[in-house]
Structure 1
Amino acid sequence: MKLYKLIIGLSMGCAVSLTACKDIIEIEPEYQRAGSSKGFSTLNEHEFALTGAYALFRASGYYGNGTHNTGAWAALPDMMADDLVQTVEDFGNWNTQANWTYAADEADIELSWVAAYSVIAQANLTLRNIEQFEATNPKRVNRIKGQALAIRAMVHFDLLRFWGESYERTATALGVPYKTTVDVEDLPERLSVKETYDHIFDDLEEAELLLADVDNVMNTATNRAYIDQTATHALLARVHLYAKDYEAAENFASRVIAVIPLANQAGFSGIWQDIYPANAEVIWKVTHSAGEGNVGLGIHIGSANRNLFRPATHLEATFNKPNDIRFVSYFGSRESSSNAPVYPGGSGAPGNRRIVTKYLGRGTTLDNLTDWKVLRTGEMYLIRAEARAKQGGAKLVAALADLNALRAARIRNYVPVVIGDEQALLEAIALERRKELFAEGHRWFDLKRSMRAISRPDVEVASASVTLTPAAREWAWPIPQGEIDVNPNIVQTTGYR
């Protein structure tokens, strides 16, 4: 599918399919046509378009779910790695991704490609000609424009994470097309990884400045639905970590940590049930309401008691099971009968199926309907710890302090450890990332950016792939064949035809 085709009618389609976009359908049709030379005539229309961009994150190819599927940037990266195990109960919807057998004509890869560029197109529609209002309402323009720029940057970075042939900051390897306009005649080519990063940082840095001077408070302690300046700092911390600019990653993570502390042990489990105490650590979340996609359907279908992916036994073994509050929040057991209860943590009768309880639903419901937590302070501690450890020297002490601080927040009666060796500390931080960020869409990318192999010691399906070497082509996804067919300027990922 041509990228420019995603723009035409996008807001209208968003309004039809996603209830939070309802107001967009009321905008005059000529303003929705990508080919129109007019653009929006009021800031309200720009605001509606921005709402549409947020709503599109709930698409089944992004953070939302279709029937029994999971979004590409939700739990799929964990299914593709080694901490979630495909079971014999799985429908096979993401079988090609989980077992790295994808090709250019894979429909679900195109679904993810289209979902991402749909968000980008909506962000660009929001940005189009918004400068005309700067003189009369500069702070509101800053708020709208800053969010749209941050969204555009983040989504291109997510595309780079799957399709980029390298994460090195100055790499000439293939990156992704970077869309900044709503030009219907545009046939974008793939930029280099360096050029892709350049655009991402340009957008994030401009967004960070704009969001420092806005017309109203965007988020509260109990509602984190918007990308504000703090969320932009968190995105900058994440991107700088991938780019191996460790000093910048440390600095931006520190700015987030200073504003949004870790959840206390009593409040941690509420994060996954959408119960937000005042000190919870959600930085930005994509909200889901009834009918807008169910986050956990791709792992364990609570209402039908179907276990598609279970936690790997080797991962569960790394937890301090009696004391780690993450263990009881993330894992459980359940018998196979349709109305069987869920036993959190390690409880339940012997022989029960191990399940992921992280996304079962709000409170005691089992409908898999929860918000997707895109950014959390727990990740920021791990970013800062890794960035400090990578800088070495005197920073190792601070890196260890971050690791101990996060563990103390998660493990009852935790006794701080002493790790004097840099490599041993980095390995401890990497393990903590696996535990802390389990099933949050990080594991595949963490393995890719550290150029590590995948070796699955725990498999259940006989046809499951077991190993993937660091040099394998499958670390970068193929450009969808539909895009190749209609866009003569785009180049296929190395190794695919």
Structure 2
Amino acid sequence: MKNINYIKVLFAGVLLLASCKKDYLETLPTDSVSTPTVFETTKNAKLAVNGLAKMMTQQYLGSQGFNGEGTIKMYYGNYPGNNFFVNLSGWADIINANYNQNLTSIYLYYPWYYYYKIIGNANQIVVSIDGAEGPAVEKEFIKAQALTFRAYSYMMLAQIYGNRWKDSNNGQTGGLVLRTDVSTGDMPLSTLGQTYDLIYKDLNDAIALYESSKLDRESDKNFQVNEDVAYAIYARAALNKQDYVNAEKYAVLARKNYKLMSNADYKNGFSTPNGEWIWSSYGASDETLYFYSFQSYIAYNSTASAVRTTPKCISRELFDKIPTTDVRRDLFLDPKGEAYTTATGVAGTAMKARAFKLFPDLQATAVPFAYMNFKFKANDIPGIGHVNHFRASEMYLIEAEAKFFQNKAASEVQGVLNALNATSGRDVNYVCTKTGTDLLNEIKLYRAVELWGEGFDWFDMKRWGDTIVRKDFASGGNFLTSLVTTIKPEDKNKWTWSIPLRESDYNKGLE
């Protein structure tokens, strides 16, 4: 196969034209200049790094549904999980994980294509920045940022196309094609262990460069990466690898500059960075994908039909586990005994009226559902908003889980959960006294509650090796009949997506 632009590192033409009137995501027009010009100065190279951030909110593959990182969260994290319901029977194959081994499926291909596109551009920055004209500290900072993007991309690929660590024979199963330069030739598959070795090395190198440069991102540019983002990626990667010592260490480091948000911020729509957000993607009215942005698929007030007619809902079983004193319960439409259609969840007259009274910015044509989410709210129409990738809350939860699996005192784990839930004000009545398996289940419960809709559901279930069990209304759940299923850890190729045919056809090193 000669058409290899899906993996080939074509730096010129991949990053985007400057289109923002502000300088938030100003990027060098690399479709009209040569690579040497891009790296002629550190000023130009900074724009190339901005291009990496822009790639996370761009449409791909000629499909309006593929919108960068938002698609990863929705199609690969939310839809196939255990706690996220949407009335889309036609999406049963995605939601029920039936494409994991369909080598020609665009859904199997998309994450590979998307993340390797970021990796290819990051590689060009890494290998070229040393020759740019400009202060040495700026070159160090830029290289650190590129390494951070690369580590993040390989971590996400490893979660999708690699086995869960407990099934990997300590990292001996297949990993990824580890490209670290601008070559596009044949290359064999590395092991999962080698993949995590590279992720760790990139993050260690990035952290060292951040520290030697003594530079940081600008305070109002949460879309840029910095040392804190590298710490957060390290924490999540280490958790995936069951490296609990490093998971705890870097989770604590990642959140040290970020306070848990107030309840007012919690109810503010999850579309604007606040003091808890460690890293996000930029999204404003002058930088939008219109009806195909992440918020257009999930924000309750969006004008997109994807929300108005099929709002995104929490699973009934998870909702019922949220205490009535918890602010997070208010982010979903509690039926409160009012009628709704038990085949789909469409709200009856009384519940519909209450939904519009509680949330008057619902679109007039919106169809409320029992358990629909009001967590995500667009800042502007049709679905404008920043997209969060890491929050301090996740770091608390990583710390708690890492402490648990290191067999640290139950009181230490309980203290972290109490800080997240009670001290923060999310639920002032919360007190954790659980131990043993009950304590682990408590961590899992509050990961599901705290991070709902942010793209963690399926990834967490895979990492733990837990069974997905979805039920219909008659059985105590709220899923459509076509989405009711049980998926065990050993099913669906152990939840591991196969390497796309477009890669193996091109890359003879995989033979």
TM-score (norm 1): 0.84
In structure 1, the partner of 2:371 is 354
The residue matched to 1:53 in structure 2 has which SS?
Answer: helix
Deviates more, 1:224-233 or 1:460-469: 460-469
Cα shift at 1:225 = 1.8
Residue 54 of structure 1 deviates from its aligned partner by: 0.9
1:299–1:307: 8 Å Cα contact kept in structure 2? no
Secondary structure at the counterpart of residue 489 of structure 1: helix
The 8 Å contact of residues 4 and 187 in structure 1, kept in 2 or not, is answered as no
How far is the alpha carbon of 1:82 from its aligned partner?
1.1
Letter in structure 2 aligned against 1:233: Y
The CA deviation string for residues 315-373 of structure 1, in whole angstroms up to 9 with x for no partner, is: 1111123x322222355789699x9864659xx9x9854322233302xx563321111
1:138 CA drift (Å): 1.7
Q: In 2, Cα distance between the equivalents of 1:271 and 1:214?
A: 35
- Cα pair 1:299 1:308 within 8 Å, conserved: yes
Residue 276 of structure 2 is aligned with which of 269, 277, 281?
A: 281
Q: Find the counterpart in structure 1 of residue 441 from structure 2.
A: 427
Deviations 1:360-393 (CA, angstroms, capped at 9, x unpaired): 302xx56332111100000000000111111114
Is 1:261 aligned to 2:275, yes or no?
Answer: no
* Aligned-partner SS, 1:212: helix
Residue 466 (str. 1) matches residue 485 (str. 2): yes
The answer to whether the 8 A contact 2:141-2:210 is kept is yes
Letter matched to residue 375 of structure 2: K
Deviation, structure 1 residue 204:
0.7
In structure 2, give the amino acid aligned to 1:310. C
Matches of 2:225 and 2:68 in 1, distance apart? Answer: 26
Deviation at 1:18, TM superposition (A): 7.1
Aligned twin of 1:494: none
Of 114, 135, 138, 2:136 maps to: 138
Report the residue type matching 1:311 in the other structure.
I
**d(CA) in 1 for partners of 2:35 and 2:233?**
31
CA contact (8 A) 1:434 1:443 kept: yes
Task: Give the corresponding residue for 1:35.
Answer: none
Q: Contact between 1:208 and 1:232, CA under 8 Å: does it hold in 2?
A: yes
CA distance in 1, matches of 2:55, 2:206: 20
Q: Distance in 2 between matches of 1:17 and 1:114?
A: 23
Letter in 1 for 2:279: W
Q: Quick one: structure 1 residues 140 and 405, their matched pair in 2 at CA, closer, same or farther if it must change by over 3 Å? A: same
Give the aligned length.
467
Among 504, 507, 510, the residue aligned to 1:484: 504
Which residue number in structure 2 is paired with residue 182 of structure 1? 182
Conservation of the 8 A alpha-carbon contact between 2:12 and 2:32: no
Deviations 1:171-194 (A, max 9, x none): 21111112211113x223221100
| Cα distance change on mapping 1:198 and 1:67 into 2, 3 Å | closer
Structure 1 counterpart SS, 2:459: helix
SS at match of 2:455: coil
Paired with 1:57 and 1:74, the residues of 2 have a C-alpha distance of 12
CA distance in structure 1 between the aligned counterparts of 2:370 and 2:489, rounded to whole angstroms: 32
Is residue 16–residue 30 contact of structure 2 (8 Å, CA) maintained in 1?
no
Give matches, 1:278-357, under 5 Å: 280-290=275-285, 291-292=288-289, 293-299=292-298, 302-303=302-303, 304=305, 305-307=308-310, 309-321=312-324, 323-329=325-331, 342=356, 352-357=369-374
Give the drift of 1:115. 1.0
1:154 paired residue number: 152
With over 3 angstroms needed to count, the CA separation of the structure-2 counterparts of 1:344 and 1:119, relative to structure 1, is farther
Structure 2 match to 1:495: none
Residues 27 and 300 (structure 1), Cα distance of their counterparts in 2 relative to 1, 3 Å cut = closer
Superposition pairs of residues 345-494 of structure 1, within 5 angstroms: 352-362=369-379, 365=380, 367-394=382-409, 396-408=410-422, 409-419=424-434, 421-457=435-471, 458=477, 460-464=479-483, 466-472=485-491, 473=493, 475-490=495-510
d(CA) in 1 for partners of 2:66, 2:465: 33
Secondary structure of 2:321's match? coil
CA–CA distance in structure 1, aligned partners of residues 4 and 229 of structure 2: 27
Paired with 2:157 and 2:231, the residues of 1 have a C-alpha distance of 19
Change beyond 3 A, Cα 1:463–1:208 = same
Instruction: Give the aligned residue type for 1:248.
Output: N
* Structure 1: runs of 5 or more not aligned: 33-37, 492-497
Greater CA drift, 306-315 or 19-28: 19-28
- Give secondary structure in 1 for the equivalent of 2:28: helix
Secondary structure at the counterpart of residue 356 of structure 1: coil
Q: CA deviation at 1:284?
A: 0.6
Distance in 2 between residues matched to 1:372 and 1:331, nearest whole Å: 23
Give the secondary-structure state (helix, strand or coil) at the position aligned to 1:131.
helix
One of 161, 164, 168 as aligned partner of 1:163: 161
Aligned-pair distance for 1:252? 1.2
Mapped partners of 2:68, 2:44: distance in 1: 33
For 1:230-283, what per-residue CA distance to the aligned partner results, in whole angstroms no more than 9, with x for missing partners? 11111111111111111211111112232212112233223614163xxx2000
Q: Structure 1 5/386 Cα, relative in aligned 2: closer, same or farther at 3 Å? A: closer
1:218 CA drift (Å): 0.8
Distance between the aligned counterparts of 1:379 and 1:460, measured in 2? 27
TM-score under structure 2 length normalisation: 0.82
The alignment partner of 1:373 has SS state of: strand
Does structure 1 retain, via aligned residues, the 8 Å contact 2:271–2:387?
Answer: no
> Equivalent residue for 1:241?
239
Is 1:105 the counterpart of 2:130? The answer is no
